[in-house]
Amino acid sequence: MQEKNTTVIPIRYIKGVGPKKALLFNKLGVENVQDLFYYLPRRYEDRTKLVSISDVQVGEEQGVVGKITKKNVFRAKTGTGIFSMTVSDGERSIEAVWYNMPFMNKNFNVGDTILLYGKVELHSKLQITHPVYELIGPDGIRDSLEIGRIVPIYSLTQDLSQKYMHRTVNGAIREFAAETVDCIPTYVRARYSLADLKFAVENIHFPYSFENLEKAYKRFMFEEFFVLQIIMALRRLERAGNGIKHEVHAGLMSEYEKLFPFEFTPCQKKCISDIEKDMSSEKPMYRLIQGDVGSGKTVVAMYALLLSAKNGYQSVMMAPTEILARQHYITVSQAFMPLGLNVRLLIGGMDEKERNGILFDLKNGEIDIVIGTHSVFQKDIEYKNLGLAIIDEQHKFGVEQRKSLREKNVKADTLVMTATPIPRSLAMTVYGDMDISILKGKPDNRRPVVTYWVDETRREPVYAFLRAEVKKGRQAYVVCHRIKKEDGDIFSAEGMYEYLRGEIFKDLRTALLHGQMAADEKDKVMKDFRDKKYDILVATTVVEVGVDVPNATIMLIEDAGKYGLAQLHQLRGRIGRGEHTSYCILFGDAETDASNDRLEAITATDDGFAIAEKDLDLRGPGEFFGTRQSGLPELKFSNVLKDYKIMEDARQEAFALVSADPHLADGRHAGLRTSINERFRGKVRI
C-alpha cells in the first residue's frame, strides 16, 4: 500500500504562482509543495504586542493603532514622489511615510482605522518609514498574515517579497496541509509526544504562539534525524547479504607484529580485533577507522590486507592523491616483501604498457594488493577475486566513486579511513550505516607538537630558530595559502620560496611544492624532501594529506587566520611523526572573532577529537562536514550537538523499525515508505 501524497505537486500549480514565479522559487530549492512546507523561516518577528503612540520607543520595531487624520502627496527637492499620512490615537500622532510610492494614496481614506508596524524614528516628529500596515474594519483584524501575530521572515531571492511569500505559503497550507503524508508512524509520535505533520507545518510557518512554534520545531528535528537514520538502516540492510568469511590463522597477529620495530597501541590492537571479527563473519565488513593524525591507521589497515591475502583474495587500497598512494605503496610493499606478497602501484599517467601489464595480472590473480588513486575503480579494471577494498581519506572521494569501487565485488569487505576526527554525534549522522572504530592516542615514540601563534614582530627570531633546527639535521615546512605571487607580495608560495631562498636562507636547500605542478614533478620534490635532499619545503596545502617525513620537525603556516580549524590540525599533523620534539608556528592576525577562536583553539591542544568538537561548535554541522558528499540530506532544522538526545531517540526508533519491517510493508509505515520513495528516488531500495 502506498499513500497518495499531494505535496509533490509542482510549485507552479499553487494559486498565485505560475511558471515565471515558479522559477524564482526554484532558485530557493523549492520545486513542489513539500519543498515549500519544509522551507524554513530564518527568523520570526513578534508583532502581537501593540503600544500607544505615547509609549513608542524610538529605534524599536513596534505596532500602533490609530485613525488617519491627514494624507499628503508631494515631491521632495530631489524630485522624489512621497506619500505621507498622519495617524492619531487621540492623544498623540505619528507619521507614516512611503518614498517613491505616491500611488499609495489611493489605498487609504481619512477616518480609516489602521494598524502600523515598523521601526520608530524621530525627526521633526515621530515617524515610521514604509511600515507594514493593516486596515481595521468594523469587525477588527481578521486573519492578518502581516500584523497582530508572530510573523515568519524568509530568506528570499529578487522579485519575491515577504508579503507574497506569506500569502503563497498560507494558501498552500490551507489547500494541502491536511492531505500531507506523515512519515513518522503514529505510534512513534505518541511515544515522544510529537505533533502531527499538519500542526507542525502550520506552526513552523505561522505559529499561534511561541509554545506551538517550539512543538513544531521539535517535530521537524525528530523527523529530520528519523528519516536520515531510516536511510542509514536501509543502507546497512542492503549490505547484509552473504559476504566472504575469512579464516583467521593462529599466530597471524604475532607474525604481523614482528614486521614492525615498535609496540602497537591498545587502540590499534582493539581496531585490529574489530577487523578480525568483521572479516571472519559471513556479513560483508563496512567499517570506518577514525583516528587522529599520526595515530597509526595505516598499520591497522595493513593487517586487513594481510588477512585478505592469507585467504587467497586480492585487495585494493585507494588514496586521494598520487603522493599518498606512492607513500602507502612504499610502506606496504616494504613490510610485506618478506612474506612474498605481490604489491603493485596503479596511478594515472603511467606508461600504457606498464598499466596494461598490471591490469592483466589483476585479472589473472597474479597481484595480491594494488594501491592507487581513482585509477583503481575505472571500468576497464577487472579483479579475479577482490576480497577487500580500503579507502583512505574517504571524504575526499564522491559517493559515486566509492560506490564504483565497491561494485567491483559486492561481497568484498570495505574498510574506510579518515584522519579528520569527527565528534561521535556527527559520526552517527554521517556514518550511521557503518561500524566505527576509533584510534585515540599516538605511538609512544610520538611527542605532542608544540604550537605557537605569533605576529610579524617575531619573524626574525622564528627564522633564527628554524635555522638552528636545520643545523641540528632537522627539516621544515613553510605553508602558504595561495600559489601565485602578486604585486611583490611574498606571502604566496612562489613569493615565499623566492624570498627565503634568495634572502633569508641562501645557505640552505629550499624547494617548492604546489598543486599546479605536474604529478611526476610533485612526486620527485616530495621524495627528495623525504630523502633529506632539501632542508626547507615551501608548499601549499597539497602537503595536508598523508605525507610522512619523520625528520621534519618545524612547520611555519603563513596567514594562519585564513585556514579552518580542522585544516590547521591536518597541516600540523605532517610534523611530530618522529622521535624529536616538533614545533608548529602560526603567523598572521585574526581578522575576525571566528579566526581568533580558531587560532586560540589550535594552540591550546593537539587532540584532534577535542579540536573537532570545537570546530563543530564554531562552524555548525552543515559546514563542518559536507553531508552532500555522503549523498545524504542536509540538516536544515537540527544541530547534532545541541539536539543529540533527539538524534539518539530517532536513530533507535529508525533502526528498530527497519529491523522489524525491512521493506516498510506494514500499513503503519505506508506514509514513511511514500516519503522515502519520493525524497530519495533511486538512491534507496525499499
- Mean pLDDT, range 230-242, rounded to an integer: 80
Q: How far apart (Å, rounded) are the C-alpha atoms in residues 68 and 90?
A: 11
Q: Which amino acid, 90? A: G
Same domain, 424 and 304: yes
* pLDDT of amino acid 622: 53
Q: How far apart (Å, rounded) are the C-alpha atoms in residues 89 and 92?
A: 6
In the predicted structure, residue 377 carries a pLDDT above the cut 60: yes
* pLDDT of amino acid 402: 54
In the predicted structure, residue 545 carries a pLDDT above the cut 90: no
* pLDDT of amino acid 369: 96
In the predicted structure, residue 436 carries a pLDDT above the cut 50: yes
In the predicted structure, residue 683 carries a pLDDT above the cut 70: no
Same domain, 427 and 298: yes
* pLDDT of amino acid 629: 43
CA distances from 359 to 325, 367, 448 (A): 17, 9, 43
Q: Which residues are CB-neighbours of 347 under 8 A, at least 6 positions away?
A: 322, 325, 326, 372, 373, 375, 519
* pLDDT of amino acid 76: 86
In the predicted structure, residue 151 carries a pLDDT above the cut 50: yes
Q: How far apart (Å, rounded) are the C-alpha atoms in residues 343 and 618?
A: 43
Lowest mean pLDDT among 175-184, 209-218, 532-541: 175-184
Handedness of CA 117, 118, 119, 125 (dihedral sign): negative
In the predicted structure, residue 496 carries a pLDDT above the cut 80: yes
The distance from CA 510 to its chain's CA centroid, rounded to whole angstroms, is: 36
- Mean pLDDT, range 114-127, rounded to an integer: 91
Length of the chain: 686
Q: Which residue has the cell 575503480?
A: 377
Share of the chain above pLDDT 70, in %: 89
pLDDT tier at 263, thresholds 50, 70, 90:
confident
Q: Which residue has the cell 492531505?
A: 179
CATH number, domain with residue 117: 2.40.50.140
Strand partners, 134: 115
Q: Which amino acid, 576? A: G
In the predicted structure, residue 425 carries a pLDDT above the cut 70: no
Beta strands 93-99; 126-129: pairing state: parallel
Evaluate whether residue 178 is within a structural domain. no
Residue 318: which of 409, 420, 396 has the closest Cα?
Answer: 396
Structure confidence by residue, pLDDT tens digits, 96-109:
999 999 999 999 99
Q: Tell which wins on pLDDT, 488 or 542.
A: 542
* pLDDT of amino acid 470: 96
Evaluate whether residue 35 is within a structural domain. no
Q: What are phi and psi of 437, to 5 degrees?
A: -115, 135
Same domain, 487 and 600: yes
Q: What are phi and psi of 510, to 5 degrees?
A: -120, 140
Same domain, 316 and 404: yes
Lowest mean pLDDT among 141-150, 445-454, 585-594: 141-150
How many CB atoms are located within 10 Å of the residue 335 CB?
19
Same domain, 258 and 118: no
Last residue within a domain, chosen from 551, 584, 605: 605
In the predicted structure, residue 363 carries a pLDDT above the cut 80: yes
CB-based contact 178:200 (threshold 8 Å):
no
In the predicted structure, residue 171 carries a pLDDT above the cut 70: yes
In the predicted structure, residue 360 carries a pLDDT above the cut 50: yes
pLDDT tier at 7, thresholds 50, 70, 90:
low
Lowest mean pLDDT among 311-315, 485-489, 504-508, 526-530: 485-489
Q: How far apart (Å, rounded) are the C-alpha atoms in residues 144 and 83?
A: 24
Last residue within a domain, chosen from 583, 605, 627: 605
Structure confidence by residue, pLDDT tens digits, 317-328:
998 888 788 889
Q: How far apart (Å, rounded) are the C-alpha atoms in residues 515 and 519?
A: 9
Same domain, 261 and 315: yes
- Mean pLDDT, range 120-135, rounded to an integer: 90
pLDDT tier at 335, thresholds 50, 70, 90:
very high
pLDDT tier at 565, thresholds 50, 70, 90:
confident
pLDDT tier at 480, thresholds 50, 70, 90:
very high
Q: Tell which wins on pLDDT, 679 or 70.
A: 70
In the predicted structure, residue 282 carries a pLDDT above the cut 90: no
Lowest mean pLDDT among 5-9, 273-277, 300-304: 5-9
Q: What are phi and psi of 189, to 5 degrees?
A: -60, -40
**∠ CA(195), CA(196), CA(201), 5° rounding?**
95
pLDDT tier at 612, thresholds 50, 70, 90:
confident
* pLDDT of amino acid 305: 96
Evaluate whether residue 153 is within a structural domain. no
Q: How far apart (Å, rounded) are the C-alpha atoms in residues 608 and 448?
A: 12
For the chain, how big is the Rg over CA atoms in Å? 32
CB-based contact 180:202 (threshold 8 Å):
no
pLDDT tier at 606, thresholds 50, 70, 90:
confident
CA distances from 148 to 45, 48, 108, 167, 169 (A): 10, 4, 20, 16, 18
* pLDDT of amino acid 1: 45
Evaluate whether residue 174 is within a structural domain. no
* pLDDT of amino acid 487: 62
- Mean pLDDT, range 470-486, rounded to an integer: 91
Same domain, 510 and 543: yes
Domain with 488 in it:
449-605
Q: Which residue has the cell 572573532?
A: 593
Q: Which residues are CB-neighbours of 681 under 8 A, at least 6 positions away?
A: none
Q: Which DSSP helix (H) or strand (E) runs through 451?
A: strand 449-454
Number of domains the chain is built from? 3
Share of the chain above pLDDT 90, in %: 46
The average confidence (pLDDT) of the chain is 86
Evaluate whether residue 529 is within a structural domain. yes
- Mean pLDDT, range 109-116, rounded to an integer: 91
* pLDDT of amino acid 136: 84
pLDDT tier at 197, thresholds 50, 70, 90:
very high
Q: How far apart (Å, rounded) are the C-alpha atoms in residues 286 and 236?
A: 9
* pLDDT of amino acid 676: 83
Q: Tell which wins on pLDDT, 368 or 261.
A: 368
pLDDT tier at 8, thresholds 50, 70, 90:
confident
CATH number, domain with residue 463: 3.40.50.300
Same domain, 453 and 424: no
- Mean pLDDT, range 372-391, rounded to an integer: 87
The string over 502-534, giving b where at least 16 C-beta atoms fall within 10 Å of a residue's C-beta and e elsewhere, is eebbeebbbbbbbeeeeeeebbebbeebbeeeb
* pLDDT of amino acid 405: 58
Last residue within a domain, chosen from 116, 131, 148: 148
- Mean pLDDT, range 414-440, rounded to an integer: 78
In the predicted structure, residue 52 carries a pLDDT above the cut 50: yes
* pLDDT of amino acid 628: 38
Same domain, 302 and 423: yes
- Mean pLDDT, range 594-604, rounded to an integer: 88
Q: Which amino acid, 407? A: E
- Mean pLDDT, range 174-191, rounded to an integer: 91
CB-based contact 573:293 (threshold 8 Å):
yes
* pLDDT of amino acid 626: 47
pTM: predicted TM-score of the whole model, two decimal places? 0.70
Same domain, 280 and 425: yes
Structure confidence by residue, pLDDT tens digits, 388-401:
999 887 555 555 55
Same domain, 389 and 459: no
CA distances from 143 to 134, 166, 168, 481 (A): 11, 12, 14, 55
Same domain, 462 and 577: yes
In the predicted structure, residue 679 carries a pLDDT above the cut 80: no
In the predicted structure, residue 143 carries a pLDDT above the cut 80: no
CB-based contact 285:275 (threshold 8 Å):
yes
Evaluate whether residue 324 is within a structural domain. yes
pLDDT tier at 633, thresholds 50, 70, 90:
low
pLDDT tier at 627, thresholds 50, 70, 90:
very low
